[in-house]
Each structure stands twice: as C-alpha cells, then as structure tokens.
C-alpha cells in the first residue's frame, strides 16, 4: 500500500507522538503531585522535571493538547494524501477516514489515557524529560490561550479555583504514610474522617415511617408510661395528631425523674423543642448543630419543609465508626447505644 519508507517513518512518528501526548496529559492531570514533589526534594532528576511541569500545569496541558492535535492532524493529512494518490479522491478519503479514526481514537487516545491514569506517577516521571522542551517551545501559544481563558472568566465573572480539595488532602496523607511519618491505621482513620465530613444527613436518617414516637394529642398518663417503658430509646419524639407535626422531644430519664415525684406530669411541660435540619447538610455540620442546640436528636426535612425522617447523634457516630472500620478493618464489633 505504502512503498515509501520515509512516509512510513513519518506516520509512525506522528502516531507515537499522539500516544505520548495523550498518556502524558492524563498522567500529569491525575498524578500525586505531593509524591512527585517529595521525590524531587530527595534529589530525583525526573521528579524535579515532573514537578516543574506540574507547577506550570495550565501551560503544560495547553502544550500537550496543541501538540497532540498537531500529531493527529499530520498523521491524518499524510495518510489521506498517500491514499488519495493511490486510489483517487473519493476512495482515498474514505479509506483514510476508516483507518485513521478508529486507529487514532482507540490506540492513540483511549488506551494511552487509560494507561496514563493507571500508572500516572511512572508516566509523569518518564515523560517529563521530553515534555519540558515542548512546553517551553509552546509558551507563546499557551500565553495566547490563557489570555482567552482570562477574558472568558471576566465575561462570566468566574473566580480562580485555588481550593485545596479533598483529593489533594488524601494524596498528602498517603504521601506522609509512605514516608513512615504515620502508620496505615492512622492514615485510614484520617481519610475516613474526611469521607465522613462529605457524607450528608439524608444518607443516615431513620425514615419517617420508622420513627418511634408518641401522639401527644391522645395523652394518657398510664398509656404514656407504658409506652416509655416499652421502648429502649433514651429520647422519644412527641407529635400532635400527625408525624408532620412534631411538637417536641422528651428525655426518658427526665420524664421518669418527674414521674416519681408527680405521676400526673404532662410531657408537654418538660419536653424540649424540636430541632429541624435540611437533608443536604453534612454530618460535620450536623455534629456542630447538635452541639450548638444542646440536643442529640434532629428532624430532617426537605426543601419544602416536609418531614423525611430523623437523625440522632448515635446515628452520626455509628456512621463515623463504620467508615473507619470499612477503611482500616481494625474496628470490629463496635456499637453505639441510643
């Protein structure tokens, strides 16, 4: 099909270049930058180069994308010219499309990116040697595109995102663990605590239809006493005719103390006001809310203030203990009583 060795060499060169830039893009986007910087501080030349690339990540990605697209273009254009010369315009263009599209998409894009993500640190360290010159060469182009991005941000009033993300934090913890500063169990607990802080209340609630509560509109001292003694909960919600009308929460210990002195005590006189929270708040905020409102129970509502369920301090603590157990495997048989 192609008899000219020089053409073969150029096609292979463009194809390999596309593979290289595709894998490099994903590798530097997903690599643990803290690991790389730690290796750079230890004196690794490849890590120093990789850290240099990461410190200029926006320019680096622009350079990679530009040269990757250029490699795509040159490969497709050269293949098209060769096939058109041999088979004519229509047939040649059709063959070029049928060959280049799946070949470039699968072998020059998808597979290199998958490998670049899976072996991100290794790829970053190896590819940095060749990538640095390309970044330097393409600096004017990167500057031009950054100017366009700046204009777009100004037009849409976008803000620069310099947030230290949860993924960044996990990478720091993993790096510290690898250097022996903390052990694996401590690392697991810290990361589990981070996951805990991202969990929302709706993930741990007792649904509305499972809430054990007493209808205060039908209050009778004997029936209420029997109800209290028959439950194993330390706090009992009180509602007025419907669970959508929670009026308060009775602390069982408090009720028993008053009952011993005054058997006819009405729970309304000693109940605490109900505490409502939105189902979207995080468990970290929930703990703060419990502390601020001096309570261990909250009623979860949706955006329309409709009751969805209930959450207790015990539920929140069980979630934290469970996450640590799942991550580290060191907490076994843990339980928290209500």
pLDDT digits (tens, 9 = 90+) for 54-102: 888 888 888 888 899 899 899 999 999 888 888 888 888 888 888 988 8
Those residues whose C-beta lies under 8 Å from the C-beta of residue 44, and which sit 6 or more positions away, are: 125
Kindly give the interhelix angle for 120-137 and 5-30, rounded to the nearest 10 degrees: 110
pLDDT of the residue at 208:
92
- Does the pLDDT at position 320 exceed 80? no
**Nearest Cα to Cα of residue 159 among 167, 147, 150:** 150
Could you report the per-residue pLDDT of 111-167, keeping only the tens digit for each? 999 998 899 889 999 999 999 998 888 888 777 777 777 777 677 665 545 444 555
Residue 177's nearest CA partner among 163, 194, 195, 189 is: 189
* H or E element, residue 246: strand 246-251
Instruction: Flag whether pLDDT at 183 surpasses 70.
Output: no
Look at the block and give the residue holding tokens 């993300």. 165
Mean pLDDT of 265-283: 91
The whole-angstrom separation of Cα 50 and Cα 126 is: 8
pLDDT at 330 over 60: no
User: Cα–Cα distance between 37 and 178 in angstroms, integer?
Assistant: 13
Q: State the pLDDT confidence band at 324, using cuts at 50, 70 and 90.
A: very low
Look at residues 301, 296, 243 and name the one whose alpha carbon lies nearest to residue 272: 296
Cβ(248)–Cβ(271) below 8 Å:
yes
| Bridge partner residues of 311 (DSSP) | 298
Model's pTM, two decimal places?
A: 0.47
Domain 201-328 has CATH 3.30.1330.10: no
The span from the CA of 216 to the CA of 223, in Å, is 11
Q: Where in the chain is the domain with CATH 3.10.580.10?
A: 201-328
Q: 151: exposed, middle or buried (C-beta count within 10 Å: 0-12, 13-18, 19+)?
A: exposed
Average pLDDT of the chain to the nearest whole number? 81
pLDDT value at residue 230: 86
Look at residue 184 in the predicted model and tell me its pLDDT.
58
Residue 328: the pLDDT is: 45
Amino acid 271: pLDDT: 93
Cβ(279)–Cβ(302) under 8 Å?
yes
In this prediction, residue 158 carries a pLDDT of 52
The candidate with the shortest Cα–Cα distance to 312, out of 326, 332, 323, 298, is: 298
- Tell me the pLDDT band of 39, cut-offs 50, 70 and 90: confident
Residue 197's pLDDT is: 57
Q: Are strands 276-278 and 297-301 parallel, antiparallel or unpaired?
A: parallel
CA–CA distances in Å: residue 168 to residues 30, 77, 283 = 11, 41, 21
Task: Judge contact between 169 and 192, C-beta under 8 A.
Answer: no
Report the length, in residues, of the chain: 338
Q: How far is CA 199 from CA 63, 194, 235, in A?
A: 38, 9, 24
| Beta strand spans in 137-239 (E) | 206-207, 214-215, 235-239
pLDDT in tens, 213-266: 999 999 988 889 889 888 888 899 999 999 999 999 999 988 888 888 888 888
Spatial neighbors of 265 by CB under 8 A, at least 6 apart, are: 221, 255, 258, 259
Q: What percent of the chain has pLDDT over 70?
A: 80
Confidence at residue 332, expressed as pLDDT on a 0 to 100 scale? 34
pLDDT confidence band for 16 (50 / 70 / 90): very high
Q: Average pLDDT in the 14-30 region? A: 91
CA distance 177 to 184: 6
């Amino acid at each position: 099909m192609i008899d000219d060795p020089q053409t073969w060499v150029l096609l292979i060169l463009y194809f390999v270049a596309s593979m290289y830039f595709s894998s490099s893009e994903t590798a530097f986007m997903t690599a643990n930058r803290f690991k790389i910087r730690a290796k750079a501080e230890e004196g690794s030349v490849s890590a120093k180069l990789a850290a240099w690339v990461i410190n200029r990540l926006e320019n680096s990605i622009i350079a990679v994308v530009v040269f990757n697209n250029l490699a795509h273009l040159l490969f497709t254009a050269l293949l098209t010219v060769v096939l058109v010369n041999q088979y004519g315009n229509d047939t040649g263009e059709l063959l070029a499309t049928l060959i280049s599209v799946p070949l470039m998409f699968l072998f020059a894009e998808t597979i290199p990116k998958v490998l670049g993500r899976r072996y991100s640190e290794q790829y970053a360290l190896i590819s940095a040697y060749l990538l640095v010159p390309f970044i330097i060469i393409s600096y004017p182009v990167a500057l031009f595109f950054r100017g366009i991005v700046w204009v777009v941000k100004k037009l849409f009033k976008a803000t620069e995102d310099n947030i230290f993300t949860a993924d960044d934090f996990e990478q720091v913890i993993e790096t510290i663990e690898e250097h022996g500063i903390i052990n694996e169990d401590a690392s697991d607990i810290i990361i589990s605590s981070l996951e805990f802080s991202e969990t929302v209340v709706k993930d741990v609630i007792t649904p509305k239809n499972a809430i054990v509560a007493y209808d205060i509109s039908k209050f009778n001292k004997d029936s209420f006493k029997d109800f209290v003694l028959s439950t194993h909960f330390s706090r009992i919600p009180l509602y007025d005719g419907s669970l959508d009308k929670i009026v308060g929460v009775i602390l069982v210990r408090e009720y028993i103390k008053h009952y011993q002195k005054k058997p006819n005590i009405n729970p309304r006189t000693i109940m605490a006001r109900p505490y409502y929270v939105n189902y979207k708040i995080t468990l970290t905020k929930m703990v703060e809310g419990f502390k601020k409102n001096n309570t261990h129970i909250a009623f979860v509502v949706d955006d329309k203030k409709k009751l969805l369920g209930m959450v207790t301090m015990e539920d929140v603590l069980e979630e934290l203990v469970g996450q640590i157990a799942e991550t580290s495997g060191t907490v076994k048989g843990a339980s928290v009583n209500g």
